[in-house]
């Protein structure tokens, strides 16, 4: 008999169902060994599995940036207070959350230094030095780094942390038209990463004046709906117009020898996206990690009695090596039963489990089990390569389809505040119409206890009345609780 599980004494698996989303989410993510809490409240430790997901996302995104001719750089972590103050709206937006270095060793600094909450100000003071003529444009730089925003609300792994990792692209163009063209390129990349790697279906919204980035002319974002009806902002794109170029003096001589202020964009994807992805795909058994970002795509669980151990482990190692074009892990731990391992890897969300016992070896077969639907299938080893590829692709497609359906089912069109409030109670994201008036935006928030206009659906045309004031509507908007 296989050894009895020593894990039985441990609390195995996830103890709450996904319906209780908040509890399910934090419990699963910690139990699945992706992250851990750190001694600094609100700052997360990315454990190997959590960080490996980020590495895959980063590499795929970075490759695409580079194809567009965008270059990576690294600017300092610190921003002198005087620089951060240069653009008023930007300062106002970020200063409540800034962590300040005021002393080094035993010496008080004469000017305190902000830990970058974002790098506009430190980068643009250099851009102003570097850019002289139209020949220096476009300047398209990016960095992958850590930033700190000292949230005072309750931290949530990935979704709300005080330090997070991201890319920040900061680009400069000679004309507004050129700058605006970049939006499509960048959202093209981010969309590809969400759709083709993370199997997440989001939607693009344009932020209201209230919600836009501090210092931007406009902000658009790919928004994602979580199972609890909350909307989270994914990757975003800010067109800054000439706001920063005027504050920082980023000027260039155009082809006619005249001096002009430059046009700027900035855009980002953050580690928050990992949380969104996990929240969308998991189930009562734990996480489901989409195959293309899964650090382990296939786990091999050998099943043996004492006398067949050598033979089974040998074959399992053979398979691990043979199929190394996939990310394969052989779980050869001897202190756990196969059953324990099945649960463990299901909770951790590995897309495919391969079971291999002595009888399978005799028949040149394995059992392939899918994480997304639990289906088991006997597969001849000679077909395993092809089958694995197919199943990984199929799991990806199933997850993406589910994500689309979840978004559709989680959305509700309403025409009145009553319906809106009811919809929110039922954990729906609301689509409605709005007059564009800030007062109505504020009232919606006030009447619902914090539900807000997530953003404008630019591809839809308003035909009716503002859900709050009843006057002619200007915009179709998304309304929801957010993080």
Residue ranges binding a second copy (CB under 8 A): 36, 38-40, 43-48, 51-52, 54-55, 71-80, 83, 95-106, 113, 115, 122, 125-126, 129-130, 135, 141, 145-146, 148, 150, 152, 163, 165, 333, 335
For a second copy, the closer CB: 46 or 267: 46
For a second copy, the closer CB: 333 or 386: 333
- Min dist. Cβ of residue 385 to a second copy (A): 23
- Min dist. Cβ of residue 159 to a second copy (A): 17
- Min dist. Cβ of residue 474 to a second copy (A): 35
Decide: 466 and 441 in contact? Cβ < 8 Å. Answer: no
Beta-carbon count within 10 A of 448 CB = 18
- Min dist. Cβ of residue 384 to a second copy (A): 25
Q: Residue written as tokens 């507004």?
A: 176
- Min dist. Cβ of residue 103 to a second copy (A): 5
For a second copy, the closer CB: 56 or 469: 56
Decide: 11 and 340 in contact? Cβ < 8 Å. Answer: no
Instruction: Write out the two tokens for 271.
Output: 């580690």
- Min dist. Cβ of residue 326 to a second copy (A): 16
C-alpha of 81 from chain center: 30
Burial of 6 per CB tally in 10 Å (0-12, 13-18, 19+): exposed
- Min dist. Cβ of residue 154 to a second copy (A): 16
- Min dist. Cβ of residue 109 to a second copy (A): 9
Segment holding 240, helix H or strand E: strand 230-241
With CA atoms as reference, report the closest residue to 411 among 201, 217, 236: 201
For a second copy, the closer CB: 94 or 187: 94
The DSSP annotation for 329-380 comes to EE---SSS-HHHHHHHHHHHT-SEEEEE-HHHHHTTEEEEEETTT--EEEEE
For a second copy, the closer CB: 269 or 381: 269
For a second copy, the closer CB: 71 or 408: 71
For a second copy, the closer CB: 76 or 450: 76
Pairwise CA distance, residues 167 & 149, whole Å: 15
How many Cα atoms sit within 13 Å of 254 on the Cβ side? Answer: 10
For residue 45, which phi and psi values (nearest 5 degrees)? -100, 125
Instruction: Write out the two tokens for 84.
Output: 């951060």
C-alpha of 32 from chain center: 18
- Min dist. Cβ of residue 70 to a second copy (A): 10
- Min dist. Cβ of residue 300 to a second copy (A): 17
For a second copy, the closer CB: 26 or 403: 26
- Min dist. Cβ of residue 403 to a second copy (A): 26
For a second copy, the closer CB: 151 or 419: 151
Q: Compute the Cα dihedral for 286, 43, 121, 217 and give only its sign.
A: positive
Pairwise CA distance, residues 22 & 282, whole Å: 12
Pairwise CA distance, residues 156 & 162, whole Å: 10
DSSP, collapsed to helix, strand or coil, labels residue 374 as coil
- CB-based contacts of 334, cutoff 8 Å, min separation 6: 3
Q: Is 293 left (phi over 0), alpha (psi -120 to 50) or beta?
A: alpha
Burial of 449 per CB tally in 10 Å (0-12, 13-18, 19+): exposed
- Min dist. Cβ of residue 365 to a second copy (A): 30
Decide: 358 and 308 in contact? Cβ < 8 Å. Answer: yes
For a second copy, the closer CB: 43 or 180: 43
Pairwise CA distance, residues 324 & 297, whole Å: 10
For a second copy, the closer CB: 97 or 377: 97
Pairwise CA distance, residues 480 & 483, whole Å: 10
For a second copy, the closer CB: 126 or 191: 126
């Amino acid at each position: 008999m296989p050894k009895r599980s020593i894990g039985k004494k441990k609390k195995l698996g996830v103890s709450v169902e996904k319906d209780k989303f908040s509890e399910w989410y934090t419990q699963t993510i910690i139990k699945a060994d992706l992250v851990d809490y750190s001694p600094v409240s609100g700052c997360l430790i990315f454990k190997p599995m959590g960080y490996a997901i980020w590495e895959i996302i980063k590499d795929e995104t970075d490759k695409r940036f580079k194809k567009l001719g965008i270059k990576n750089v690294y600017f300092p972590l610190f921003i002198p207070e005087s620089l951060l103050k240069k653009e008023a709206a930007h300062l106002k937006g970020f200063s409540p959350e800034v962590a300040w270095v005021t002393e080094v060793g035993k010496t008080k600094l004469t000017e305190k230094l902000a830990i970058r909450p974002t790098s506009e100000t430190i980068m643009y003071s250099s851009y102003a030095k570097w850019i002289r003529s139209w020949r220096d444009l476009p300047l398209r730089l990016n960095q992958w780094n850590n930033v700190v925003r000292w949230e005072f609300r309750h931290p949530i792994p990935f979704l709300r942390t005080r330090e997070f990792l991201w890319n920040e692209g900061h680009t400069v163009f000679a004309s507004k038209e050129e700058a605006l063209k970049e939006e499509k390129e960048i959202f093209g990349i981010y969309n590809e990463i969400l759709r083709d790697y993370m199997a997440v279906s989001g939607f693009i919204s344009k932020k209201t004046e209230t919600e836009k980035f501090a210092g931007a002319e406009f902000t658009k974002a790919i928004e994602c709906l979580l199972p609890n009806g909350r909307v989270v902002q994914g990757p975003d794109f800010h067109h800054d117009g000439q706001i920063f170029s005027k504050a920082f003096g980023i000027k260039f001589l155009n082809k006619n020898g005249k001096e002009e202020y430059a046009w700027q964009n900035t855009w980002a994807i953050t580690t928050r996206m990992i949380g969104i992805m996990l929240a969308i795909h998991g189930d009562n058994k734990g996480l489901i990690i989409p195959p293309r970002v899964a650090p382990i795509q296939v786990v091999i669980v050998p099943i043996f009695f004492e006398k067949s151990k050598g033979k089974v482990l040998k074959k399992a190692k053979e398979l691990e090596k043979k199929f190394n074009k996939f990310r394969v892990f052989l779980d050869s731990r001897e202190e756990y039963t196969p059953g324990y391992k099945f649960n463990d890897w299901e909770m951790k969300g590995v897309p495919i489990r391969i079971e291999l016992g002595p009888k399978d070896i005799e028949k040149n077969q394995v059992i392939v089990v899918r994480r997304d639907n639990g289906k088991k299938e006997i597969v001849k080893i000679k077909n395993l390569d092809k089958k694995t590829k197919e199943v990984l692709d199929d799991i990806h497609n199933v997850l993406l389809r589910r994500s689309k359906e979840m978004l559709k089912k989680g959305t509700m069109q309403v025409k009145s505040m009553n319906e809106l409030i009811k919809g929110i109670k039922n954990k729906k994201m609301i689509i409605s119409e709005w007059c564009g008036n800030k007062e109505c935006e504020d009232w919606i928030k006030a009447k619902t206890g914090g539900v807000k206009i997530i953003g404008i659906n630019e591809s839809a045309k308003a035909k009716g009345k503002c859900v709050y004031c009843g006057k002619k509507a200007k915009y179709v908007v998304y309304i929801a609780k957010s993080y």
